[in-house]
Structure 1
């Protein structure tokens, strides 16, 4: 902080000058005035200490699969001060550079950077191939592996199969994407399962530090086993994607008289159609509960059709045979439900 203070006396008084000369009268004392607050000084280490603390608390995160979703997550991770290095089959050098990340064409070179966390943002279908060919031997043996796939039992099984037992495993599912989370993550669910985390305090702190990014963004943090996640996801996410794709095939379009409900359907189609079919196929193929949900949807649709056509049959029968036939049908149905015999018309005895 810089201060200015005017002395009450001149520093010197030449003898040949008259003391009472107006030009050299001593001005009255002036108050202390603040010229600057917290101005940077060469001996001020506050900024340096903050910078060093930020660097020391940052995670070095390697993102495998730098497509649309990988870039979406990386922007937020960088904004929270973490160091991002990336690798993908396609060349995303420019995209990585534009957000402050570094891109490595060779996975061996990426592993030589010794990341604290390896974050898998690959597609469901390519995950096993990526893990099978990844050079784990170049990583530190305490590295934390994290996935963000939409199914959870599948990557958990792959991690336990391919990763060395010294590696930590965190299975997560941010239940939002570039469309639903483009403005804010506040209130959006983030599911995670600490499958295998070492006992050391530093390894637990590293896992918590990664999760803290999503917590600080306002996500609704849900700790849940991979098995339980897939049961819930089959009944929510897979059904949502299925209905969105059915409506897309149906060809729903906006009209001048859209209702709120119809607008919701249009939004559903827009959100689901922006995802690749490979993602939808992965939700079906690698979630053992998905087939059951698909069959239930089919049965529900058939039940609705049966109810509609049954009501239509009653109206048609009433129009064709009149009220008497309709009443007779109701009486017959009631007796069948009560377990009684259905009366039949008596025929006259033959002569």
Structure 2
């Protein structure tokens, strides 16, 4: 089957670059970028194609994905519209939808379909499973069902709505939350508080909240600003938030207990299913505490720690764990790894990693056993030894050199190290065998 061409304008950075990982197995991927040197490097690294011209990319693509900063989206739509193939599809992935929708409707001919979209996840997302994507198509042409089925095949949560409804909902999900989080971080900075000093006093909820705030404020500030400034509902949202802050401040400063309680109760009632919220936050806190407990209990043992972003696995003896750092020793080398950026491999995962990455040892062991020895019992017992990968019987002999009541069995044993194979030999002698 001939693969379609998918062109990503802005594929050398951010979400555009992340989309390459999802598309490259299913499509021929072409990308453009503002920095040609960087774009070529990304294309070579990810084994896709780099084109210097947006118009050239549009001309060869069956699907054009526009993934550029919000403030440039409408300009890029106008730039490439005249060069798109008849019967092709234009998609954008910006977080504001009314503007791009109007521009696409204005400049694209009827022979080119467009689906304004918003993937509600960021460049750090490693899987599409259960991630939300919003589709705000004005009309559904021949491409729409294909796109919907493709996204559904990736187990994504698909929301179909209008551009106007999307932008209002994102004014709550993004504009309000980002504005309030950045305001909180700014207040902490103005108070000259050293966040690290608060850690001795922090509760699990405070710790989780600070992590969420840090995640938001660490995002590209230009992107965050454009999300704030370009959402048409932004002014109303920010003004309402400021009014709520002033109202709450005044109730407390004026010792208006009843006013404060009324505000708090009304706000709580509007939060929806509180039990579910408590359950989800309890899960998040429990997961953090459980992982730390597993690490703490593993001190002195061999562990595998996988970096959740790079995917690199570090294996060694866990020497110590504190609130933020795990210290791993491998021979004479020690490493300090941030606990927030790693997860501990399950025993089966660590075992498989060793098989895939270490130079395993294979040796044939001949041993004389009693003639009635049970071979399957020997094999099953050997496989229970740590770091033994495989054992199989390759020869059985009871010729002149072997006592008539005995049999010589030769097993091929594969293990992680030479020392592990020596353990098998000791086991054989423990079964009453004599190594030949």
TM over 0.5: yes
User: Using the alignment, how far apart are the partners of 1:187 and 1:108 within structure 2?
Assistant: 34
Does structure 1 residue 172 correspond to structure 2 residue 117? yes
Q: Show the counterpart of 2:47.
A: 100
SS across alignment from 2:137? strand
* SS state at 1:128 partner: helix
- When residues 108 and 154 of structure 1 are mapped into structure 2, their CA distance, relative to the original with a 3 A threshold, is closer
Q: Equivalences for 1:215-254 in 2 at 5 Å?
A: 215-250=152-187, 251=189, 253-254=195-196
TM-score for both structures, normalised by structure 2? 0.53
Q: Structure 1 residues 59 and 298 mapped into 2: Cα distance closer, same or farther (>3 Å)?
A: same
Separation in 2 of the partners of 1:247 and 1:287? Answer: 21
The answer (yes or no) to whether the contact 1:125–1:278 under 8 Å persists in 2 is no
Counterpart secondary structure, 2:71: coil
Greater length-normalized contact order (CA 8 Å, ≥ 6 residues apart): 1
| Equivalent residue runs for 1:106-145 within 5 Å | 106-112=53-59, 114-134=60-80, 136-145=81-90
| Mapping of residues 270-309 of structure 1, within 5 Å | 270-309=214-253
Shift of 1:313: 9.9
Distance 1:96 1:211, change over 3 A: farther
Once residues 302 and 103 of structure 1 are traced to their aligned partners in structure 2, the CA distance between those partners, rounded to angstroms, is 52
Mapped to 2, the partners of 1:213 and 1:247 lie a distance apart of 40
Which structure: larger Rg? 1
Q: Distance in 2 between matches of 1:177 and 1:212?
A: 22
Runs of at least 4 residues of structure 1 off by over 4 A?
none
2:21 corresponds to which residue? Answer: 75
Residue aligning to 1:349 = none
For the residues of structure 2 that align with 1:191 and 1:313, how far apart are their CA atoms? 43
**CA shift at 1:213, angstroms?**
4.1
Taking the aligned partners of 2:230 and 2:58, their CA distance within structure 1 comes to 29
1:292/1:71 Cα in 2 relative to 1: closer, same or farther (>3 Å)?
same
8 Å Cα contact 1:141/1:167 also seen in 2: yes
Distance 1:281 1:162, change over 3 A: farther
Tell me what 1:190 maps to: 133
Q: CA deviation at 1:234?
A: 0.6
Q: Which runs of 5+ in 2 are unaligned?
A: 259-436
Please give the residue correspondences for 1:14-25 in structure 2 after superposition, counting only pairs within 5 Å.
none
Go from structure 1 to structure 2 and tell me whether the alpha carbon gap of 1:263 and 1:70 turns closer, same or farther (over 3 Å shift).
Answer: same
Alpha-carbon spacing, 1:188–1:288, altered in 2? closer, same or farther (3 Å):
same
Q: Which residue of 1 aligns with 2:422?
A: none
1 CA distance for matches of 2:41 and 2:150? Answer: 25
CA distance in structure 2 between the aligned counterparts of 1:271 and 1:216, rounded to whole angstroms: 29
As a proportion of its length, which structure holds more strand? 2
TM-score after normalising by structure 1? 0.65
In the alignment, is residue 152 of structure 1 matched against residue 97 of structure 2? yes
Give distance in 1, aligned partners of 2:240 and 2:57: 46
Distance 1:194 1:128, change over 3 A: closer
Q: CA deviation at 1:257?
A: 3.1
Q: How many residue pairs align between the two structures? A: 248
SS where residue 266 of structure 1 aligns? Answer: helix
